[in-house]
Amino acid sequence: MSLKSERRGIHVDQSELLCKKGCGYYGNPAWQGFCSKCWREEYHKARQKQIQEDWELAERLQREEEEAFASSHSTQGAQSLTFSKFEEKKTNEKTRKVTTVKKFFSASSRTGAKKVAQEKNLKQGQLGRERNADNILRDLKEIFTPSWELASPTEEIQEAKAPSPSINRQASIETDRVSKEFIEFLKTYHKPGQDIYKQCKMFLEAMHHKRELSIEEQSECAQDFYQNVAEKLQTRWKVSPERVEKAMDQIEKYIMTRLYKYVFCPETTDDEKKDLVVQRRIRALHWVTPQMLCVPVNEEIPEVSDMVVKAITDIIEMDSKRVPRDKLACITKCSKHIFNAIKITKNEPASADDFLPTLIYIVLKGNPPRLQSNIQYITRFCNPSRLMTGEDGYYFTNLCCAVAFIEKLDAQSLNLSQEDFDRYMSGQTSPKKQESENWSPDVCLGVKQMYKNLDLLSQLNERQERIVSEAKKLERDLIDWTDGITKEVQDIVEKYPLEIKPKNQALAAIDSENVENDKLPPPLQPQVYAG
């Protein structure tokens, strides 16, 4: 397609006269080569886009201004000066990069938007390298590609959480807050701080291009980054180990807040499927009692049940955190509550023999959301030194153990017979029903009452059934009885049939024969004598 200069009008080919959208009508250079109808459509879309973009830009500018204002206020003198300069330089750099990166984007065809990309390339070809068509090209690209794909890297990174401001407003605010804090924090590190900032930016940009790699490769990159930065801080900047650790925490927070969305439970893995499997598994195991797991926690003590509830809350809360370290902190908090519960019950420090079963029990009761995803995410993107030897690492390992145990749990591991286990799993019976008499440990009052009422109801039901069956029996008896009587009567009637014998007449005849009766004197009347 050698469509060079329609505007200069040296070689005007038939095809060039047609509308660029390929609708078959003729285009007009005044409408950027579109026909009137297509032009109006495109123009309208582009305008809308432009308005939205302007709005975003204004918002960002304001934010930056605020930031600059805040930083110039908080620290005065040379330091803040250098820092804002550094910031300025950074922004300049960003703007310079915009064009090249954009080219990169338009060239790469994204899997999700292959069709879009093809269309885009076509448009590009037609528009060629016409300078005056650049604007429309940009507009078009905006129209045909999702905004996040098109954004410059800086926008992308700054608003990694907020492709469109209205949707993810909340996340964007958090991201901004985190980066503000990060910058504030780095100021205390002076020169190395600037270096760290630069490194992080570079890393985030690099990660952006690696989004299509497998999650393991991305994890590898993150781990390498942690290691390189830590090493650099130690060897080049001679920062003390404590401060390195602090800085590493902040770096982790900064980069992971930004990357979270892309690397947590990514579509390329089956993390989500595993989550669902675990969730279903835990639901199926709802009948497991603390006694079966030998949990050394007595929930009848109010303080203990309080601790258990807190532990469950903590482990559920883990999913809401974005930074691996914050997630680990939730696990640690949960573990501390478990230890407290054990300590109150047993009055001695908890060993792993006590702790692991209790943690398993808490996980079973809490059924924390996206358990596998969270574990995978922490394993892949947490600063490794923390996972290796630290206390957080220990509790995290225990959580992994708990999940592994729950996945593989069988009759033997609960000291149950296979038949019992199968029956409980299929939901035919529940161990709770059987021991409802001494049933109380881990239920709130309402549930306890409910179980009692259920018991009562089943008793009543039984009685009712008995009454009904008795009544039926009675009815049957009555029917039988009447039948019996009827039969008996019939038998008797049959046996002794009623015969009207002429004898009766004979008797009358006897009387009638007594003719002289009327001749007899009347019978004596009783007489009263006065005496």
Question: Other C-beta atoms within 10 Å of 438: how many?
Answer: 6
Q: Minimum distance from CB of 414 to other proteins (Å)?
A: 8
Q: Which two tokens stand for residue 14?
A: 């038939």
Burial 85-113 (b: 16+ CB within 10 A, else e): ebbeeeeeebeeeeeebbeebbeeeeeee
Q: Minimum distance from CB of 339 to other proteins (Å)?
A: 4
Q: Minimum distance from CB of 434 to other proteins (Å)?
A: 23
Q: Minimum distance from CB of 388 to other proteins (Å)?
A: 5
- Residues 59 and 165 sit within 8 Å (Cβ to Cβ): yes
Can you tell me the distance from the alpha carbon of 290 to that of 442, in angstroms, rounded to the nearest whole number? Answer: 8
* Residue 419, SS3 per DSSP: helix
Q: Which residue has the tokens 């770096």?
A: 251
> Residue 330 class from Cβ within 10 Å (0-12 exposed, 13-18 middle, 19+ buried)?
buried
| Alpha-helical regions (H) of 210-240 | 215-235
Q: Minimum distance from CB of 348 to other proteins (Å)?
A: 7
Nearer to other proteins, 296 or 368 (CB): 296
Q: Minimum distance from CB of 344 to other proteins (Å)?
A: 11
Phi and psi (nearest 5°) for 496?
-115, 75
Residues in touch with other proteins (CB under 8 A): 223-224, 227, 230-231, 234-235, 238, 240-241, 294, 336, 339-340, 342-343, 347-357, 384-385, 388-391, 394-395, 397, 400-401, 404-405, 408, 412-413
263 membership: H or E segment, kind and range: helix 241-263
- Show Cβ contacts of residue 376 under 8 Å, excluding neighbours closer than 6 positions: 265, 269, 271
Q: Minimum distance from CB of 428 to other proteins (Å)?
A: 24
Q: Which two tokens stand for residue 469?
A: 């069956």
CA dihedral 431, 432, 435, 439 (to 10 degrees): 150
| Alpha-helical regions (H) of 265-323 | 271-284, 290-293, 302-317
Nearer to other proteins, 143 or 402 (CB): 402
Q: Minimum distance from CB of 459 to other proteins (Å)?
A: 38
Residue 110 CA, distance from chain mean position:
28
Q: Which residue has the tokens 């008499």?
A: 437
Nearer to other proteins, 261 or 336 (CB): 336
Nearer to other proteins, 287 or 355 (CB): 355
Nearer to other proteins, 124 or 234 (CB): 234
Nearer to other proteins, 156 or 252 (CB): 252
- Residues 157 and 208 sit within 8 Å (Cβ to Cβ): yes
Nearer to other proteins, 110 or 343 (CB): 343
- Residues 186 and 194 sit within 8 Å (Cβ to Cβ): yes
Nearer to other proteins, 184 or 245 (CB): 245
Residue 198 CA, distance from chain mean position:
35
The closest of 153, 159, 158, 160 to 97, measured between CA atoms, is 153
Q: Minimum distance from CB of 299 to other proteins (Å)?
A: 19
- Show Cβ contacts of residue 468 under 8 Å, excluding neighbours closer than 6 positions: none
Q: Minimum distance from CB of 241 to other proteins (Å)?
A: 5
Q: Which two tokens stand for residue 434?
A: 């059987």
Q: Minimum distance from CB of 225 to other proteins (Å)?
A: 11
Nearer to other proteins, 124 or 223 (CB): 223
Nearer to other proteins, 330 or 356 (CB): 356
In one-letter notation, the amino acid at residue 234 is: Q
Nearer to other proteins, 181 or 391 (CB): 391
Can you tell me the distance from the alpha carbon of 197 to that of 91, in angstroms, rounded to the nearest whole number? Answer: 13
Can you tell me the distance from the alpha carbon of 43 to that of 140, in angstroms, rounded to the nearest whole number? Answer: 9
Nearer to other proteins, 19 or 375 (CB): 375
Q: Minimum distance from CB of 97 to other proteins (Å)?
A: 28
**Distance in angstroms between the alpha carbons of the first and the last residue of the chain:** 162
